[in-house]
Amino acid sequence: MSEKTDVWQGTLALMVLKTLEALGSLHGYGIARRIEQTSENKLAINYGTIYPALLKLEQEGYIASEWGISDNNRKAKYYKLTRAGRKRLAQETQKWETTTEILARFFAPLEES
């Protein structure tokens, strides 16, 4: 597996976690739709890529799944965050914010001088 794929998969996993934090419990279709919306359609992803990511998160115990009924009376599999998932999300968010902050300092002074 190339590094690029790893980074992408990590980012996707993060987006899934964040979405679930915001929306509570949601099915795969909903999560994919929501991610696309949140990125204001700048991110055009294949919905199919959500599912391996969801599976991996579930295997590692960050999310849990159960079958339920959707609003249109359809059977669907719902996912929600676990406690470990919340912790992970918090950690990763921290990391991202620190990284962005450091980088920001690099870009800002350059403008000044």
Partner 1 sequence: MNVRQIRGWMARFFGMLNRGRREREFAEELESHLAMHIEDNLRAGMSPEESRRWALLKLGGVTLTKERCRAQGGLPMLETLWQDLRFGLRMLRKNPGFSFVAILTLALGIGANTAIFSLIDAVLLKMLPVKHPEQLVFLEKSDGSQGRKRQSDLSYDFFERLRDQSEALAGVCTFSNRAPLNVLVGGQTEVAQVQQVSGSFFAVLGVNAIMGRVFTDDDDKVPGGHPVAVISYNYWQRRFARNPAIVGRRIAVTGYPFSIIGVTPPEFFGVTVDGAPDLWAPLMMRAQLLPAESIEDYFSNPLSFVLARLKPKVTERQASAALTGLLQQSLLAEAGSQLSPEEQQSLRQARISLAPASQGLSSLRQQFSEPLRVLITIVALVLAVACANVANLLLARAAARKKEMAVRLALGASRLRLVRQLLTESVLLALAGGALGLLFAWWGGHLLLALVASGRTPVSLKLALDARALIFTTAVSLLTGLLFGLAPAWRATRVDVTPALSESARGSGRWRLGLGKALVIAQVAISLLLLVGAGLFVRTLANLRGVEMGFQPENVLLFSTDPRMLGYESRRIADLYQRLLERLKTIPGVRHVSLSREGLLYGGGYRSSVYVPGRAPREGENPSPDDKRFSSNHSQLHNVGPDYFATVGRPILRGRGFTEQDKEGAPAVAVVSETFARYYFGAEDPVGKRFGRSPAESDRIEIVGVVKDAKYNSLRQQMLRTFYLPYLQNPNSWRETTFQIRVAGEPKKIIPAVREAAQAVDPKLPLHNVKTLAEQIDASIVQERLIGTLSGFFGLVALALAAIGLYGLLAYSVTQRTREIGIRMALGARASDVLKLVIRQGMWLVVIGAIIGLIAALNLTRLVSNQLFGVQANDPLTFAGMALLLVAVALVACWVPARRAAKTAPLTALRHE
Output the six-digit token pair for 10. 């990590």
First to last CA, the chain: 41
By CB under 8 A, the count of residues binding partner 1 is 25
Sign of CA pseudo-dihedral 48, 49, 50, 51: positive
Q: What is the largest CA-CA distance in the chain?
A: 61
Is the CB of 49 or the CB of 99 nearer to partner 1?
49
Given 61, 94, 95, 103, the residue binding partner 1 (CB under 8 A): 61
In the numeric block, the tokens 């359609």 are attached to: 41
Asked whether 62 and 12 are in contact (CB, 8 A), the reply is: no
Interaction mask 69-88, partner 1, x per CB under 8 A: -x-x-xxxx------x---x
Q: 86: which 2 tokens?
A: 């919340």
Residue of the chain from 15, 17, 27, 81 that contacts partner 1 (CB under 8 A): 27
Phi first, then psi: give them for residue 11, nearest 5 degrees. -65, -45
Q: Does 59 bind partner 1 (CB under 8 A)?
A: yes
CB of 47 or CB of 96, closer to partner 1: 47
Shortest reach from residue 17's CB to partner 1, in Å: 13
Binding site for partner 1 (CB under 8 A): 27-30, 46-49, 51-52, 55-56, 58-62, 70, 72, 74-77, 84, 88
